[in-house]
Structure formats: C-alpha cells, structure tokens
C-alpha cells in the first residue's frame, strides 16, 4: 500500500532512505498507547457529531481486533509501515475502507506521537516508582536489622567516626526517597493531553480536547498547540531523574565492590549475584555491582543524546524528535531492571560484623568525641580540636591508642588534660551519644526508620 501521505509525491522513497526514515522497529512497542489514543479520539469525534456512531463502532471494534492481533503476533511489521501510527491506520483503512479514513480527522502524527509517548511515560513512571518503593522497603528492613551494629564511617575514604550500619543504609533510603519524589513530580507534569493540537496550530473542526483527556485518563490538556507537539521536556525529565537515580545506585554499588574485597571483607554477597573467574578458581566477583556502575554511564549517555537532539530544534515538530524513543525505552528498561536487581542483592547481602569490628580500632574514630567532650566542659572548640590533634600525633609517634594514654602522657601533650577529663571512648559510647536529629545513635536511627515507614505508606496512595 502507498504511504498515507504520498498524494503530493511523484516518486517513492529511495530504499535506503525508507529504511533510515522508518521508526516502526522500535516505536511498535507503543501500539497499545497508539490504539488507546485512537479509540478515545474517534469516540470524541462521534460525540461531537463529526463521525457517525456506526462508523465509530466499526473503527473501535477493528482497532481492538488489531491490538489483539499485534499482541498475539498475528500482525508483524516491516519497513514499509514507517511508524506505528501509519501501520495501525494503514491496517484499519485496508479493512474498513472509507470508514477507516475518517479516524485521522482533526489530528496529526505530530500530536499522535506526543499522546502515545505521554501515555507510555505515565505508565512507566508508575512502574519505576513501584520498584523504587520495593528498594525502600528492603532498605528499611535491613536498617532495622542492623540498627545498632557499629561500622566505620568514612570521609575522603579515611576512617572518620563510628556509625551504625542502619544509619548508613538510611542515608541511601533518603537518596531513593528523593528519586521517588522527583518521579512523582515528573508524572504530574506529564499528565497533560496533547491530542487535538494537530500539526502545530489546532484545528477548525469542533473537537473537544478535554473529553479526549478524560477518556485517556489525563488530568488536563496542554495549553498551546505549538508547544504540545514540540515538547519533549517530560522525556528529558525522565532521563534526568533516571540518571540521578542511577548515580545513587552506582555510589552504593561502588561501596559493595570495595566492601566485598579482601581488604575490607565487610559484606558477604549471595552467590546468586556473583560470578567466578574463567582461570582463577578461587574468585567470587561482585559482577552485578560492577555492571550496575557501568549501566549508569549508559543512562547518562541517553540523557546527553536527547539534550543534544533538542538543543537546536526550532518550533514546531521536527523529524529529529524521532530520536527520543530509543533513549527513553532503553533508559526505562535499564533503570527498572537495575533497581530490582540491586534491591534483591541488598536483600541477600549480610554484613560481617565480626570482621567490621576489627576495623573499628583503626583511625582514631573517637577523636571528635573527645573534642566535643572538652567543649561540653567549657573549652573553646578550636582549642579542643588542637589538643586532640596533638593527642593523635602523640599516639601515632608512640604507637598507642587513646585508651593507652596515661596522665603522664597527657601532660606531655597538653597541661590542661588528664584522664579524668576524657569521655567514654568505646565505640558504643561514641555512637549512643550522637542523639542530635538525624544522628547515628540507634534510637535516633529508629526514629528515622519509623519516619521512613510513615512516608512510604503515604506514597502507596500517591498515584
């Protein structure tokens, strides 16, 4: 069958141009969104008296048949179909003749692809939020289990202060919480119906765009027809949100990689998330964590690709916009799988507390607690900081720890210090004392966990 737009042309497309131009091989996954948009559109046209009820019923029935046949593989596509919109309409016209030709009244492929992509985006945003909620449930459960288990807290990859494992996990809970919030906000901005904008300027035909929005489940319609067909901000926002989310996953995956090393041995990753070596039989590699880091670069690339496409496009629709879908599809697929795989890996990973405990006596983790104790006894913080710094230097020189220092040692360091001025230097004492809001004290972490559960419960009914 000739292209549905071929009336103005004397020649067909060159074969290589036809192949280069076609998007059917990737946008065919929008078939259900495309058919949903067409059913809503023809229903509205009928209600407005633009298409007869008999024609509307034939079109809707045939569209449903086409959808079923695509689902079960009876209908397949080739390069001549060009895109999913032309493919579905072409089949419809072939089956219904003149009746099928009425469907494209008061719409263009420009607004048709926009509504298809928005419907797809809305659905996928909901699914992304669902898997992120699963991640959050896993983190809450794990944080509760390890709430009072002490580990090394790092800054600059140097031993800094003692924290609890639960506290560390709740830091990632907050990251993924923000990811969920971003996707919820993105959904709100995506939830506008562009159908009826036509090519760029609207139509003279008396359509009802608000009715189409209602039929398709949109909260409202887009305001400006020219913007409606040329807007891809919502796609960019999904890619941006996905990039930030993958950055969070990559940071956590990086910690899994070095925690899993012999130098740390902080965790035991379940065998089902590791691989071995083809030559070294002793190896147990954290390949899933490493691959998740790699997938982050892929999603970053998709974002940069579409930003680059959009930056030089004048109003209104341009063929460049066809390049949005592969980036969107790949990002959505990769992100959802990455979240689920990492959540399951966290779920099946255990912290090796007996080994972690051996690391707690390195790096003077309780130094800040001594300085703060001096402050609570009236000493200016900068003086306290200086004295504790001298204590650290003395210990390094004499190969001692704080608890080994005698009054004689302390007097050598600074005449203002003796053992009676030192606080509880145990790791438990240091951790339990950090009760400031957002701190690492177990009772404060429990508050964070309960707050997380409350927030997550509220999100369950958000969309």
Residues belonging to the active site: 156, 277
With vertex at residue 338, the alpha carbon angle to CA 337 and CA 339, rounded to the nearest 5 degrees, is 95
287-310 and 324-347 helices cross at what angle (nearest 10)? 160
The residue assigned the tokens 């009236």 is 378
Residues 288 and 253: their CA atoms lie apart, in Å, by 8
Residues 261 and 415: their CA atoms lie apart, in Å, by 44
Residues 241 and 185: their CA atoms lie apart, in Å, by 10
Contact 152, 159 (CB under 8 A): yes
Distances (CA, A) of 3 to 82, 111, 205: 8, 19, 25
Q: Is 14 helix (H, G, I), strand (E, B) or coil?
A: coil
Contacts of 306 (CB under 8 A, 6+ apart): 232, 235, 236, 239, 323, 324, 327, 328
CA-based nearest residue to 387, from 351, 413, 426: 413
By DSSP bridging, strand 150-155 and strand 158-164 are antiparallel
| 78 φ/ψ angles, rounded to the nearest 5 degrees | -140, 180
What is the sign of the dihedral through the CA atoms of 202, 207, 213 and 216?
negative
DSSP 245-284: HHHHHHHHHHHHHHHTSTTT--EE--GGG-B--SS-TT--
Instruction: Report CA Rg, the chain.
Output: 31
Residues 286 and 254: their CA atoms lie apart, in Å, by 10
Residues 250 and 236: their CA atoms lie apart, in Å, by 20
Contact 83, 116 (CB under 8 A): no
Residues 387 and 116: their CA atoms lie apart, in Å, by 66
| 221 φ/ψ angles, rounded to the nearest 5 degrees | -110, 155
Contact 216, 193 (CB under 8 A): yes
Residues 59 and 98: their CA atoms lie apart, in Å, by 11
Q: Is 111 helix (H, G, I), strand (E, B) or coil?
A: helix
């Amino acid at each position: 069958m000739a292209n549905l737009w071929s009336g103005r042309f004397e020649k067909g497309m060159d074969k290589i141009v036809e192949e280069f131009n076609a998007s059917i091989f990737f946008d065919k996954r929008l078939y259900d969104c495309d058919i949903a948009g067409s059913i809503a559109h023809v229903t509205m046209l009928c209600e407005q008296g633009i298409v007869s009820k008999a024609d509307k019923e034939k079109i809707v029935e045939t569209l449903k048949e086409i959808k079923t046949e695509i689902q079960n593989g009876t209908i397949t596509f080739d390069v001549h179909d060009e895109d999913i919109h032309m493919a579905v309409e072409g089949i419809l016209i072939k089956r219904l003749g003149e009746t099928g030709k009425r469907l494209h009244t008061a719409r263009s492929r420009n607004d048709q692809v926009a509504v298809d992509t928005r419907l797809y985006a809305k659905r996928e945003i909901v699914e992304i939020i669902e898997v992120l909620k699963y991640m959050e449930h896993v983190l809450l459960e794990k944080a509760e289990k390890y709430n009072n288990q002490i580990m090394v807290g790092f800054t600059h990859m140097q031993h800094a202060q003692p924290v609890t494992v639960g506290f560390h996990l709740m830091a990632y809970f907050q990251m993924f919480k923000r990811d969920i919030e971003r996707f919820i906000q993105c959904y709100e901005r995506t939830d506008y119906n562009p159908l009826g904008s036509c090519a760029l300027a609207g139509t003279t035909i008396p359509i009802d765009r608000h009715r189409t929005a209602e039929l398709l489940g949109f909260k409202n319609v887009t305001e400006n027809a020219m913007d409606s067909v040329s807007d891809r901000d919502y796609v960019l926002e999904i890619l941006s949100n996905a990039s930030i989310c993958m950055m969070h996953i990559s940071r956590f995956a990086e910690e899994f990689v070095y925690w899993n090393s012999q130098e740390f041995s902080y965790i035991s990753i379940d065998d089902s998330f590791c691989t071995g070596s083809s030559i070294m039989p002793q190896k147990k590699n954290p390949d899933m964590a490493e691959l998740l880091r790699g997938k982050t670069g892929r999603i970053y690339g998709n974002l940069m690709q579409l930003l680059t496409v959009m930056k030089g496009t004048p109003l209104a629709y341009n063929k460049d916009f066809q390049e949005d879908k592969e980036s969107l599809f790949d990002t959505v697929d990769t992100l959802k799988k990455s979240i689920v795989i990492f959540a399951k890996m966290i779920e099946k990973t255990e912290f090796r507390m007996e080994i972690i405990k051996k690391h707690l006596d390195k790096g003077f983790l309780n130094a800040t607690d001594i300085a703060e104790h001096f402050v609570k006894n009236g000493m200016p913080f900068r003086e306290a900081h200086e004295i504790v710094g001298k204590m650290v230097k003395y210990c390094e020189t004499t190969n001692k720890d704080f608890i080994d220092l005698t009054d004689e040692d302390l007097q050598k360091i600074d005449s203002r210090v003796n053992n009676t001025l030192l606080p509880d230097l145990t790791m438990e004492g240091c951790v339990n004392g950090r009760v400031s809001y957002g701190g690492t004290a177990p009772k404060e972490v429990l508050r964070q966990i309960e707050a997380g559960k409350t927030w997550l419960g509220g999100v369950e009914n958000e969309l």
